[in-house]
Amino acid sequence: MVLKNADLQAFTIVEKILVTLSLHKSIWSFDLYEEPGSRPLCKLARFQVMTQNTCCLNIPDKEKIASSPPVLTCIYPEGSPSVSTHQSDLHPHLEPHLFRLLFGVDASLVKSPVILCGLPDGRICCFPLLVPTLAGPTGEQRSPVRVLQSLEQPVIFIGTCVSGEHGPQCLVAVGQRGKLLIVRSKQATLEGKKADYCFNEHSVRGPVLCACVDDKRLYYSSLNDLHALQLTTTSSSSEATGTESHVQALTSDSLGVCRVIALVGPYRNSTGSVQLLAVSLSGRLLRVNLPQGYEKGNVQRLPSSLAGQRVKDLLASIGNIWERAESLKHKLQDKNESLKRLNQVINVCSLLLDVHGNENECNTGTKHPISCRGVARWSSLLQRDSLTLTCVLENSSGCILEHGWTLCIQVHPLSKGPNMEGSSRTYSFPFKKLDSGQKLDVTIPLESTGGLSLPVKVYCSLVFSLSTLFSPETSSPGVSQLITETGCISAPLSTLTVDWLDALRLEGSFSHGNIRHDTVTDGIQAFLRSRGALNKDTDNTTKSGPNAVMVRVSSELLKSKLHLSATSSAETCMAVLKWLVSPEAMGQTSVQSPVICAYSPDGCSVKIMAKEVLTLYY
């Protein structure tokens, strides 16, 4: 069954009749449809009621803007034979005498259910469902809808309660701002006056969001608390004053449940206790168990001293829960921070491994996101010259190298000899933070205990300690054991080679009195001996004379690999010498001639000459 109506506000199904309420152009429309089964919907009737101007009802602007929807319910006369068991569970009943007084003799005779509607403007309208519509004096069809009462505030709930010998004896309506209307019949007086009914108005603490009733109590929610109001002890002073209504404040009991926006019930479960079903403001479905004996009204109240102690215990429990929640919150924040840092570490390692594993990219000279380059320099301290290596760690990536990262530099001599065992050295430089675009400069000595041994391999890597991810307070024993076993994460950066060309110095850049003799010579002897060029017998007697080394390389190959743009022979030779001796590394000016005169670390003179040789083929 599909009913397309964009103005629909509420609906209910009574006696296989669909009753809908819609609002269109300041007109409330009640539409009655016959339950179709397999046929299309068939409209039986339509009754209309004009909307009321709310400016005279003293309704606040907030309630005008966010007005509650209309309330649509159906009330049966008690003992109606047409009422099925299923219908009696869905709709409230009213004892026949009050039903006849409120809704008329016709509806009472045919035992017709009556539709009651509470509108947002405060009016309570009603009309019988099964009574035929009568025609007016001029023949037009008269609307059976009439206004029973007005609460002058949006209606939240309409129902019946206070069961008597013939059924519920009261009609109850609740307004949004706390007005409570109870309609009951008055007994016949001694003078034989006809029995009538009276409207009793009371007030409860609002605003009221939802309500439900049982035989004796009204349960309603004011968002801050869920209340239970006893209805069987209401004052009967209005019965003595005829139909005059008055506002009387009633006291209610708190059930200790807050933020309830919908109520259903009450009902009894299998154990016999009374329960309410509620929906909270956050969307949770709640089951509220009423205290044992609450429905009998014999709940014992605690003495003030015990009540005060229970309040103290409750406040202490709240304080303990708050402390545990704060502790859990800090732990979650620490774990989130650790996961965030671990994600940064994985991103950095991914960048380094991608660059390190791509040999083509390394050969093209592309600038790496995280790189480390080294420059060999001579320095003088306390009238002593020493060769040092300055490494520059540059972060050009979008990641931040935070606390826990360490720049690790390992120096391995390439010359093997009797005094070179265990001469490898490792230097570690932890740093706190290296932002994107920043650089870190570190300097290490290239001389070991046995002297200066060249050439050497220098391995640069970034090491991250996993222990810095967790604080000692938050890390569990299992995490500590895992960190102890795994240690750290190491990612390679670059590999450098420092040889004699990097240690050369041009004339005038040092004093002969500070040269440490036999340092490099021993390294040369060890290198030649490892290649089988010398033996132990001639090791100490052989004196090294002037050595001459000549290397022939194709000029076209040099121009291609070094990207030389020089065209003349002299420019090509100077460019090759500049590349060989690395003037920038030695802190010297650019090469100005094809011949360089320099000194080795042990003070021996070295002459490097580049010359283009033309080979003629016949």
Closest CA to 106 of 146, 140, 166: 146
As a whole-number percent, the residues of the chain with pLDDT over 70 amount to 70
If phi > 0 it is left, if psi is from -120 to 50 it is alpha, else beta; for residue 563 that is: left
Closest CA to 52 of 79, 73, 70: 70
Contacts with 488 (C-beta within 8 Å, 6 or more apart), sequence order: 463, 464, 465, 466
Q: pLDDT band at residue 21, thresholds of 50, 70 and 90?
A: very high
Q: Please give, one letter per residue, the 3-state secondary structure of 341-358.
A: HHHHHHHHHHHHHHHHHC
Encode pLDDT of 97-138 as tens digits.
889 889 888 888 888 899 999 999 999 999 998 887 665 555
Encode pLDDT of 363-372 as tens digits.
445 567 888 8
Sequential DSSP letters for 420-476: -TT--EEEEEE-S-B-TT-EEEEEEE-EETTEE--SEEEEEEEEEEGGGGS-TTT--
Q: CATH 2.130.10 residue ranges in the chain? A: 8-250
Q: pLDDT band at residue 427, thresholds of 50, 70 and 90?
A: very high
Q: pLDDT band at residue 168, thresholds of 50, 70 and 90?
A: confident
Encode pLDDT of 333-358 as tens digits.
888 888 888 888 888 888 887 766 55
Q: With beta carbons less than 8 A apart as the criterion, state whether 412 and 459 touch.
A: yes
pLDDT, residue 116, reads 93
pTM: 0.48
Residues 162-191, mean pLDDT to the nearest whole number: 81
Q: CATH 2.60.40.10 residue ranges in the chain? A: 369-503
Give the whole-angstrom CA distance, residue 462 versus residue 475.
24
Residues 182-197, mean pLDDT to the nearest whole number: 69
Question: Could you give the C-alpha distances from 397 to 210, 367, 371, in angstroms and in order?
Answer: 59, 11, 10
- Phi, psi (deg, nearest 5) at residue 345: -60, -45
Q: Among 76-80, 358-362, 432-436, name the one with the lowest average pLDDT.
A: 358-362
Question: Could you give the angle at the alpha carbon of 279 between the alpha carbons of 275 and 282, nearest 5°?
Answer: 140
Residues 74-98, mean pLDDT to the nearest whole number: 72
pLDDT, residue 542, reads 47
Q: With beta carbons less than 8 A apart as the criterion, state whether 166 and 97 touch.
A: yes
Class of domain 8-250: mainly beta
Give the whole-angstrom CA distance, residue 409 versus residue 460.
5
Is a pLDDT exceeding 50 seen at residue 381?
yes
Sequential DSSP letters for 523-592: HHHHHHHHTTS--HHHHTT-------------HHHHHHHTT----SHHHHHHHHHHHHH-HHHHT-----
Q: Among 48-52, 419-423, 427-431, name the one with the lowest average pLDDT.
A: 419-423
Q: pLDDT band at residue 34, thresholds of 50, 70 and 90?
A: confident
Class of domain 369-503: mainly beta
**Mean pLDDT, all residues of the chain:** 76
Residues 524-528, mean pLDDT to the nearest whole number: 54
Q: pLDDT band at residue 611, thresholds of 50, 70 and 90?
A: confident
Residues 57-63, mean pLDDT to the nearest whole number: 52
Six-digit token string for 143: 């609307």
Residue holding tokens 């340092």?
519
The more confident residue out of 126 and 550 is 126
Q: With beta carbons less than 8 A apart as the criterion, state whether 112 and 96 touch.
A: no
Which stretch of DSSP H or E encloses residue 163? strand 155-164
pLDDT, residue 541, reads 44
Closest CA to 207 of 224, 194, 195: 224
Among the ranges 218-232, 511-525, 546-560, which has the highest mean pLDDT value?
Answer: 218-232
pLDDT, residue 217, reads 86
Encode pLDDT of 296-325 as tens digits.
554 455 566 677 777 887 888 888 888 889
Q: pLDDT band at residue 57, thresholds of 50, 70 and 90?
A: low
Cβ atoms within 10 A of the Cβ of 241, count? 10
Encode pLDDT of 224-244 as tens digits.
888 888 887 554 444 444 444
Is a pLDDT exceeding 50 seen at residue 80?
yes
pLDDT, residue 496, reads 87
- Beta strand pairing status for 155-164 and 146-150? unpaired
Residues 556-572, mean pLDDT to the nearest whole number: 74
